Structures are given as C-alpha cells and as structure tokens.
A = this chain, B = another copy of it.
C-alpha cells in the first residue's frame, strides 16, 4: 500500500499495465528519459526500455495516427498529449480514425488505445495550457471520455481505460495532480467506466461535477451543510457515454440539481446533463436545473484565470438561489 498523489496513481496504473500486458506501450513527447513534463511517466522508460516507453517526434496528429496503426495490429498504445491545448492537430485522427475503426470494419479491427492528457486551469500555466474542452470529445460517438477526480479513481479508471477494447480519452485535471494523497494498493482492480460515483449522499439538492471541480463542489457541499443544506454529490467520472440514470435517480430524490463545470458554459457537458434532466426528470424538479460554469470566453492568462474559474462561492450562491426558488 502506497500513499499516492493523483499523478503518481496515473504512473502506477501505467506501470501495472506495462508489466502485465506486453502489448501496452506508452508514447508521446518527452515521455521517455524526461518522464513527461508533469512526470507521469517518470522512471518507466528506465524500467521497461525504449521499445515500451517511446519518445516521439513533435507532432500530435502523428502520435494519434501511429496509435491507430499500432492498435490495428493489436497493440495497446497509451499516448500522452502534452497538454489538452495541443490535441487539436490530432483531432482529425481521433475523430475520423480512432473513434470509427471498429464500426467501419464491422468489428474486424478494433482500437484498444488511450489518449491521456492533462487539462484544466488554475496552475498559472502559459496560454493554451489551461483549457477544458472535454465536451468536444464527448460529442464524438465511438469514444469513451474519462476524468478522474482523485488518486484512487485515477488508478482504477486508468487501468480500466487501458484494458478497454475501445478508444478512451483520459483527461487528467492537472490542478489536482498533487493536491491530495490516497492510500492505494496496487492490486490491479479497475473501476467501471459506465457509472457515476456518488461521493456524498444528501437529500436537498444534487451537485454534479467531474475532474478538478469536484474539489470545489465537495467544499461547497461542506459549506452548505453548515447552512443546513444536505447536498448529494456526484462525480460523473465517465462523461461519455454518460450514466444519466444515477444522476436522474438522485434528482428524483432531491428535486434540485446544480451542475458544475470548469469549461465554458455553452455546449458543455453540464448542458447535456441538464438536458437529460429536463427530458427525463422534469416531474421530480422543484427548481430549475442550474449550471455553474466557466464563462463563454477565452480562458484568460494566468493573472486573471482565478476570476474565470467557478469558485466555491459561485457554487454556494447558485445552490442558495436554487434552494430559495419557488
């Protein structure tokens, strides 16, 4: 049993799979000797060799396209995009090849690959290093999109992602890479990729979030409980395909829901969740389904990012509004 941060749990899951399955290979920019710019692959090249942990030339479309080709041969590439802001050159390969190969060949070729990437704001990184564009992937059929919110989930979900026979976009909220530690046993137990986690039970309102925003959300729930508001908190974790059932069940119980996301509001996952509730849970609703989200503007640079990102206060304010709704 080790006490690990989220990023260390990511490393451990990869190490576990590299050791267990010889078809697993890691590839990406600076993942070798350097161990990745965030050190997610630290020490792995040394342990498994340059044929298992591969420094690629600097080209994201290439990293994705290579992964597609390797997967076509039954390998299980786990590719790192250095930052989510740099995945766009690979979008073509992800959307037109990785997400579709099984369907296009009627099951003849499958794509057991993972694209890992750090994402989100809050670490005062340079321009283009802080965005949250998970919704873009979630709209593409054929992909699973998975986001851990703590070390244990990073370990269990990444194991599941690597073992999954289909392409998984694995988004790592870099702001919480080192924010907390969990006791993790390296037992190879994967988590399910099709169910939300209920992190706290409550009766008055359902708070739904994922990734780094889970921390603000849980803090908000703490604050709210001081005011006598009992919030149920759900970590979506796999944002696509979405497990609406767990969310709808909770809203049926609480009658109220606020969805919290860091990404811009328009067309985000929060909208999808709200739409599901509006369609299938309307009768349970005692108040509007509200979204606390990033603003519909470009993520500001470091000096102003704090004003952009949803805060505990924005969440509790919104919840209070919803609670007072009549």
Name A residues whose Cβ lies closer than 8 Å to a Cβ of B: 61, 85, 88-89, 91-92, 95-96, 99-100, 103-104, 127-128, 133, 135-136, 138-142, 240-242, 263-264, 266-272, 274-275, 277-280, 282, 285, 287-291, 296-298
Q: Are A278 and B267 interface neighbours, CB within 8 A?
A: no
Q: Are A267 and B282 interface neighbours, CB within 8 A?
A: no
A271 to B104, CA, bound (A): 27
- Pairs across A and B, CB under 8 Å, 13 listed: A61-B89, A88-B91, A88-B95, A96-B128, A104-B298, A136-B136, A139-B266, A139-B267, A241-B266, A274-B275, A278-B285, A278-B289, A282-B288
Which residue of chain B has the shortest Cβ distance to A268 in the bound complex?
B139
Which residue of chain B has the shortest Cβ distance to A93 in the bound complex?
B88
Given contacts A127-B104, A278-B277, A288-B278, contact A266 B92 (CB under 8 A): no
Given contacts A241-B296, A290-B279, contact A266 B274 (CB under 8 A): no
A100 to B88, CA, bound (A): 15
Given contacts A104-B127, A133-B139, A298-B100, contact A280 B271 (CB under 8 A): no
Which residue of chain B has the shortest Cβ distance to A295 in the bound complex?
B141
Q: Are A141 and B298 interface neighbours, CB within 8 A?
A: yes
Q: Are A291 and B279 interface neighbours, CB within 8 A?
A: yes
Q: Are B279 and A274 interface neighbours, CB within 8 A?
A: yes
Q: Could you say which residues of chain B place their CB within 8 Å of the CB of A277?
A: 278
A240 CB contact (under 8 Å) in B104, B139, B267, B287 = B267
Given contacts A240-B266, A278-B275, contact A92 B103 (CB under 8 A): no
Determine how close the nearest CB of chain B comes to the CB of A156; give it in whole angstroms: 24
Which residue of chain B has the shortest Cβ distance to A294 in the bound complex?
B141
Q: Are A291 and B275 interface neighbours, CB within 8 A?
A: yes
Q: Could you say which residues of chain B place their CB within 8 Å of the CB of A280?
A: 288
Apart from A267-B269, A272-B275, A282-B288, 6 more pairs, CB < 8 Å = A139-B267, A139-B268, A271-B274, A275-B278, A278-B285, A282-B285
Q: Are B297 and A103 interface neighbours, CB within 8 A?
A: yes
Q: Are B103 and A96 interface neighbours, CB within 8 A?
A: no
Q: Could you say which residues of chain B place their CB within 8 Å of the CB of A138?
A: 266-267
Determine how close the nearest CB of chain B comes to the CB of A152; give it in whole angstroms: 27
Which residue of chain B has the shortest Cβ distance to A133 in the bound complex?
B139
A270 to B274, CA, bound (A): 11
Determine how close the nearest CB of chain B comes to the CB of A80; give it in whole angstroms: 18
Q: Could you say which residues of chain B place their CB within 8 Å of the CB of A270?
A: 275
Q: Are B297 and A141 interface neighbours, CB within 8 A?
A: yes
